[in-house]
Amino acid sequence: MANDNTDPVLARRTALAVLGAGLAAGCSTYGGTSASTPAAPPPAAGTELGAAADVPVGGGKVFAAQQVVVTQPAAGTFAAFSAICTHQGCTVDAVADGTINCPCHGSKFAVADGSVATGPASQPLEKKTVTVTGGKIRLG
């Protein structure tokens, strides 16, 4: 009769207990981080974003600090949208080939109206109002 000291049931329980402790620690760390990071307030109306000349016709420019993307679908016609992706909240980081692009999961939004061109996002970017005077773009 073999009698080794390895009890397979006990070994499995020990492994699960260690795994559970690790998951609990990860959750408490995550909860602490998100609870202590308040959302930044939106920039005020009248905030200058930059030069209109920096926004290419048919393209756009992401103003990451203000969380706004400004596009120029046609010469002299500007549009603006929240730079926060409607999928899971990443900041869009590029405008190319007629779309505003999110780096996280590949969603793309049309420069003309912020509508979804490619998912996984299912909602358009939130519209913002901007004014262009004296060659400067300002939040409206």
Binding site for ligand FES (CB under 6 A): 85, 87-90, 102, 104-107, 120-121
Nearest C-alpha neighbor of 140 from the set 42, 39, 41, 62: 42
DSSP state of 21: H
CB nearer to ligand FES: pick between 50 and 124: 124
**Which residues of 68-107 form beta strands (DSSP E)?**
68-74, 77-82, 94-96, 99-101
CB nearer to ligand FES: pick between 28 and 88: 88
| Smallest gap from residue 107 Cβ to ligand FES (A) | 4
Helix (H, G, I), strand (E, B) or coil at 107: coil
The count of other CB atoms within 10 Å of the CB of residue 71 is 28
CB nearer to ligand FES: pick between 32 and 103: 103
Report in angstroms the alpha-carbon separations of 38 from 33, 90, 100: 10, 16, 26
| Smallest gap from residue 4 Cβ to ligand FES (A) | 51
Measured over the CA atoms of residue 122, residue 117, residue 75 and residue 44, the dihedral's sign is: positive
| Smallest gap from residue 71 Cβ to ligand FES (A) | 17
CB nearer to ligand FES: pick between 87 and 138: 87
| Smallest gap from residue 102 Cβ to ligand FES (A) | 3
